[in-house]
A and B are shown apart, each in its own frame.
Chain A
Amino acid sequence: MSTHTNPSTPRERLVVIGNGMAGIRTLEELLAKAPDRYDITVFGAEPHPNYNRIMLSPVLAGEKTFEQIVLNGRDWYEANGIKLLTGDRVEVIDRANRAVTAISGLTVPYDRLLIATGSTPFIIPVPGSTLPGVVGFRDLADVDAMLEAAAKGGRAVVIGGGLLGLEAANGLKVKGMDVTVLHLMDTLMERQLDRSAGALLRHELERRGITVLTGADTAEIVGNESVSAVRLKNGQELPADLVVMAVGIRPNMALGKAAGLACGRGIQVDDAMTTSDPAILSVGECVEHRGQTYGLVAPLFEMAKVAAARLAGGTEAAYTGSVTSTKLKVTGVDVFSAGDFTGGKDCEDIVFRDAARGVYKRVVVKENRILGAVLYGDTKDGGWYFQMLKDGTEVAPVRDTLIFGPNFGGGFGGEGAANPKAAVAALPDSAEICGCNGVCKGTIVKAITEKGLSNLDEVRSHTKASASCGSCTGQVEQLLAITLGDGYAGEAKAKPMCKCTDRTHDEVRRAITSLSLKSIPDVMQRLEWRTPDGCHHCRPALNYYLLCEWPGEYKDDSRSRYINERVHANIQKDGTYSVVPRMWGGLTSAQELRAIADVVDKFAIPTVKVTGGQRIDLFGVKKEDLPAVWADLNAAGMVSGHAYAKGLRTVKTCVGSEWCRFGTQDSTGLGVKLERMTWGTWTPHKVKLAVSGCPRNCAEATIKDLGVVCVDSGYELHVGGNGGMHVRACDLLVKVETEAEVLEYTGAYMQLYREEARYLERTAPWVERVGLEYIKRRLVDDAEGRTALNARFLFSQSFSQDDPWAERANGSVDRHEFAPLAQVG
């Protein structure tokens, strides 16, 4: 907690109960209209920032991560001065004193209160419904519970064959469980689908291995300590390790009811989204409006717009109810429905089937206007039908070809061809593209042209189109293509560096060079970083890129170093450190070994181990002892082994011609020369070298970042190998005749890697990415280029070969890193 000064003028206090989609959307709309009007406090019962609840299904199915469905991270709340209290449930609304009290005991007064408590899954009250292993499908905790169960395999029973139940069933099946869906009615999703579409859906789910039982009425959930089976009223018993209840939701109105607000099926609100207490508004799934409750996202957002306008002081905005449409978010199953399709008197059904493609479409027309639509297998025209349905468009002129969609010759769009681009082009500006956020085509096109948007993310951030469920992403991309023509580059496939930027590693590096950016804040400012000071992914990368680009000029930013590189030792799991002094080429001496032994005794170092890189590792050194340990090692002539660095680690050698009867060259001596030349360098990832004295290769040189294998006639240079999780043997780069050539090639290779590999990319994946031929072209074919690379390497080395231990051992650098600030008590 931090102490901040209070703003000088007191503002009205707005408290929001509920950190879900409806409440936070209201705040977004409010901040756009009246950013400074309120001091805002948000209570969220879940321990998360605001996330996109309708995307829990893809999270369950493993198609998205939680991070990808966060709508507003904690930084958004901070940036807007909103106090967010997560994991703290409001228990009492004291209307007389205008204050709410949370379970933690915290009491916050309000001038205006917004209740957005959403809904809770309805748990059918059968025996056993409270057993462990019975979950709803409502929040991230439910998804976690399902994923945990799925990780063990076994059998899942999903009670409820509606939208949520089927998404849960599909996700659990994808995760490897045996899944049975129990549905009380005869048709799956009977509120959204007619029998024909329901049957097609059922066949598709069964084809995926999901068992579907319709007309199945649950009698009891069986189990002692946790669920073991579900028993049906007809006596059938289904073994189960997990039961998901997805029979429906109930508005979460308990808080409003206890406070004495007028409630029916939900908290009752008027067209201004105001409850029976004029100081209290309510939005979302917890409300009842004109006798209706809603469980889909689009109505929530329409309510949020009105509530925000009212909170901002407006007196006009009114919510008059929503017409809804539905899409099933099961990958590969396209289902769309909207309006009333029960048919009946005076209704006319227009049906189209294509068995080969598994397509079924039904549009219900009454008095020449669309009353409802069900689409299965081909849902691309859903938006077109839904728009006409909402607008009450007269369809008589296109009645004959209505079922073929807007692209067919007679559609409103005129001569649209049978392709998706033409379909989008044919839509009127008022056509709704994004159903979740209610964004129409005209708004998107206008934003693209007026704000100069060029990609999907920009459209999302400016208009919110395709920012929720994402099912209109294809259409938004078509709009970009139509509006920008050749100016639309398509969506970049390369991954951005991190969430702080859309730019890739390579793009950032090019910008550092071309714009002469010389500090991390410079890079962040010029390249429009979205965070104030980056994150643990981008900061170490930027620090490296700047260090590499501006040797001798850029000042290393220790705050952007991982801990090991900041304190020049390796952190261990208990918070102590390990210390590895350098042993040049793997050589040591009695004096060094004596000094190491003395250090071990003096500092009671518990473990001493020989490493794979031919040196000695001292484990369990306390952080505050590090400077004194280094001082003693320095005194015996030893320096840091950089065993912690994205830099040169070791040069492993065998004894070579000096002792070995097979040795062809002085491999140890050459190893020492290589280590003397390359130590202290910073590289994208760690670098290990080795020199073997003959092709028997005792130094394992052909799985190193650069390995030298000595032969009678000279030296083979091998590159791009590593051990690790994905072992990769080196590729032969070149054979040379002299040690001088070995040193020049090594410097040039190191520098090429430093300048062109991405941060945290080792040489093995780098060589695979750019290709051995490219490396050969730069280092072997281009002698001049090789010399220049080597010269740049040696120049940068002139700034990097200071022993980091020495300057810290004498207390001149980073003293604060190694001592506590204070001792209290």
Chain B
Amino acid sequence: MDQSISWITVGSVEDIPRQGSRVVRTDFGDIALFRTVADEVYALEDRCPHAGGPLSQGIVHGARVTCPLHSWVIDLASGEAVGPDEGCAGHCPVRVVDGAVQLGLAAFRPGRGGCGHG
């Protein structure tokens, strides 16, 4: 991990429901924090690459989330849509230190759309 990243604490792991998500409002727009059944934490832009649906509202299963609008399935680690859909949600480095969830917002990487709903 790049040592130069500055980390911002946004809450604790326990604040995020297991198999659920919470939103952090940032200058880059809403970031959705996900907590999987295995207690891994991931951070994606709260915006499906397909039609902009709020991924934080989807069903979390394994390390994936299903978008609530049209059921695109997004890989939490990479932000990539799971085939056959194509597109990538923006993502942001995240780490857990002593139960505190920290975002590396400066290293936010925007996504790329799927079918051009913008």
Contact = CB atoms under 8 A, between A and B. Distances in A.
Interface of A: 1-4, 47-49, 51, 65-67, 70, 73-75, 78, 86-87, 140, 144, 531-536, 539-540, 558-563, 566-567, 571, 573-575, 816, 820-825
A560 B20 CA distance: 10
A66 B83 contact: yes
A533 B41 CA distance: 16
Contacts of B8: 824
Closest 5 CB pairs of A and B: A66-B84, A536-B66, A821-B22, A3-B95, A559-B19
A2 B61 contact: no
6 contacts: A1-B93, A2-B42, A78-B63, A87-B80, A536-B58, A575-B53
- For B27, B51, B69, the residue with the greatest tally of chain A CB atoms inside 10 Å of its CB is B69
B45 interface: no
B25 A823 contact: yes
A532 B37 contact: yes
Contacts of A65: 84
A47 B27 CA distance: 29
Contacts of A822: 10-11, 24-25
Interface in B68-98: 68-69, 71, 73, 75, 77-78, 80, 82-84, 86, 88, 91, 93-97
B91 to A, nearest CB: 7
B1 to A, nearest CB: 8
B110 interface: no
Contacts of B43: 1
A1 B42 contact: yes
Interface in B49-64: 51-54, 57-64
Interface of B: 1, 8, 10-11, 15-20, 22-27, 30, 33, 36-38, 40-43, 51-54, 57-64, 66, 68-69, 71, 73, 75, 77-78, 80, 82-84, 86, 88, 91, 93-97, 103, 105
Contact of B54 (A51, A535, A575, A821): A575
B84 A74 contact: no
Nearest to A575: B54
Nearest to B16: A821
Given A536-B61, A821-B23, A816 B84 contact: no
- For B8, B22, B51, B71, the residue with the greatest tally of chain A CB atoms inside 10 Å of its CB is B22
Contacts of A140: 83-84
A559 B59 CA distance: 7
A824 B105 contact: yes
A2 B58 CA distance: 19
A78 B38 CA distance: 12
A67 B83 contact: yes
A721 B58 CA distance: 31
A743 to B, nearest CB: 36
Given A563-B59, A825-B105, 10 more contacts: A1-B77, A2-B41, A47-B88, A536-B73, A562-B68, A563-B57, A816-B15, A821-B22, A823-B24, A824-B10
A485 B94 CA distance: 56
A775 B110 CA distance: 55
A539 B61 CA distance: 9
Contacts of A563: 57-59, 68
B110 to A, nearest CB: 14
Contacts of A86: 78, 80
A562 B59 contact: yes
Contacts of B84: 65-67, 140, 144
B57 A816 contact: no
Contacts of B17: 558-559, 816
A820 B61 contact: no
A561 B17 CA distance: 14
A534 to B, nearest CB: 6
B69 A824 contact: no
Contacts of A2: 40-42, 77, 94-96
B73 to A, nearest CB: 8
A127 to B, nearest CB: 31
B115 to A, nearest CB: 11
B23 A536 contact: no
Given A536-B71, A824-B24, A560 B63 contact: no
A222 B10 CA distance: 58
B24 A820 contact: yes
Given A1-B93, A78-B63, A140-B84, A821 B69 contact: no
Contact of A571 (B22, B66, B69, B78): B69
Contacts of A67: 83-84
A533 B61 contact: yes
Nearest to B10: A822
Nearest to B33: A821
Contacts of B15: 816, 821
B26 A532 contact: no
Contacts of A539: 59, 61
Given A822-B25, A824-B103, A573 B42 contact: no
B53 to A, nearest CB: 7
Nearest to A566: B57
A327 to B, nearest CB: 25
B12 to A, nearest CB: 9
Given A66-B84, A822-B25, A571 B77 contact: no
A644 to B, nearest CB: 12
- For B16, B25, B30, the residue with the greatest tally of chain A CB atoms inside 10 Å of its CB is B25
Contacts of A559: 17-20, 59-60
Contacts of A823: 24-26
Given A74-B82, A86-B80, A820 B25 contact: yes
A65 B84 CA distance: 8
Given A86-B80, A533-B19, A824-B26, A75 B62 contact: yes
Contacts of B93: 1
Contacts of A70: 83
A1 B91 contact: yes
Contacts of A49: 82-83
Nearest to A823: B25
Given A531-B61, A559-B60, A48 B83 contact: yes
A559 B60 CA distance: 8
Nearest to B84: A66
A86 B79 CA distance: 11
A820 B57 CA distance: 12
Nearest to B34: A2
Contacts of B64: 74, 535
Contacts of B58: 536, 563
A87 B82 CA distance: 12
Contacts of B10: 821-822, 824
Contact of A825 (B26, B82, B97): B26
- For A74, A539, A560, the residue with the greatest tally of chain B CB atoms inside 10 Å of its CB is A74
Nearest to B18: A559
Contacts of B30: 820
Contacts of A573: 51, 53, 69
Contacts of A535: 59, 61-62, 64, 66
A405 B20 CA distance: 60
Contacts of A531: 61-62
B16 to A, nearest CB: 7
A60 B20 CA distance: 37
Given A1-B91, A2-B41, A820 B51 contact: no
